[in-house]
Amino acid sequence: MRAVWVVVLAVLVTGCGDEQPARPPIPRQLDAGAFAWRACDLLPGARAAGLGYPGPGMPDGIPSEKHWSCSWLPPVSPLLLIDLYLGQDRLGYEYRTGAGASIGSTGEPWLEPLTIGGQPAAALGHSHELPSATCSVVVGLTDTQSVRVHAGQRAGDGRACEHAIEVATVVVHSI
């Protein structure tokens, strides 16, 4: 009986080991509701061109009450997608599903915590410091709003995460 209590106590003290880290708290609530139906306005034309994405972005997909997208696509532009999530905590979702997971045999983390524009964020799928052809970052704006930026490399430079973080920073400052 004494051994059972020791095991129970050990589990209570250490936990089960399967707990996923929670999304970091959102220090500033940045309401992006004004950009509903206007996701392309998150990266205005002049700013987009200055970052290497010529022309205006194109509204992408079928918008819903909770998700709007804007894209810049090859061959006219390097790959860039901006997804605005209203009424859903996309950053929290990524933490719940990807934190602690790794990719295949490489062991790279699926989610790498970042801070972008003072807001909690995460690089998804690999470390933001490794060369990559594509990269997604998600930034928490409020407890129920997030923005995801998915960028491609430019001319084979392998710097997709740098480009995604650069665009996400401009997006956060636009709100």
Q: Is pLDDT above 50 for 43?
A: yes
Place of tokens 């994405």: 53
Instruction: Give, in order, the Cα–Cα distances in Å from 79 to each of 3, 27, 35, 126.
Output: 59, 30, 21, 18
Separation of alpha carbons 30 and 136, rounded Å: 20
Separation of alpha carbons 43 and 69, rounded Å: 12
For the entire predicted model, the pTM comes to 0.80
59, 60, 68, 72: which is closest to 36 by C-alpha? 68
Contact 146, 140 (CB under 8 A): yes
Q: Is pLDDT above 80 for 114?
A: yes
Q: Using one digit for the tens of pLDDT, what is the confidence trace for 144-164?
A: 999 999 988 776 777 788 889
22-36, 57-71, 111-125, 132-146: least confident range? 57-71
